[in-house]
Amino acid sequence: MRTTLHMKDGLKRQIQVQAEREGKTFTQAMEEAGSIWLSARRAGKLNKRRVVLPTFRGDGLLPGVDINDTSSLLDRLDDGVPLEQRR
């Protein structure tokens, strides 16, 4: 399966370097990291804290915004026009 990850460049580079040292691909390193993370969650070893997400009143999404299209969302964010002016 193909997946797109968005992460800090420095973190990606560190993972790549470590994977190369161990003779693994980036994908193999990410699969291993995911497995370790899930195992730790199941064992209750990760800090479980409640996160409260803010909600706002409004009219919903702006016209033409598809939250299922990551590329489109990033394009809209990167074009420099404030969201309020895109209506």
Boundaries of domain holding 17: 9-42
Count of structural domains, the chain: 1
Residue 78 within a domain:
no
* pLDDT: which is higher, 76 or 38: 38
Residue 37 within a domain:
yes
Is a pLDDT exceeding 70 seen at residue 84? no
Is a pLDDT exceeding 80 seen at residue 76? no
Report residue 77 as tokens. Answer: 């964010």
Q: How far apart (Å, rounded) are the C-alpha atoms in residues 20 and 26?
A: 8
pLDDT digit string (tens) for 60-69? 777 777 888 8
pTM above 0.85, yes or no: no
Residue 27 within a domain:
yes
pLDDT digit string (tens) for 9-53? 899 999 999 999 999 999 999 999 999 988 888 877 766 677 887
DSSP the chain: --------HHHHHHHHHHHHHTT--HHHHHHHHHHHHHHHHHTT-S-----PPP---SS-SPTT--TT-HHHHHHHHHT---GGGG-
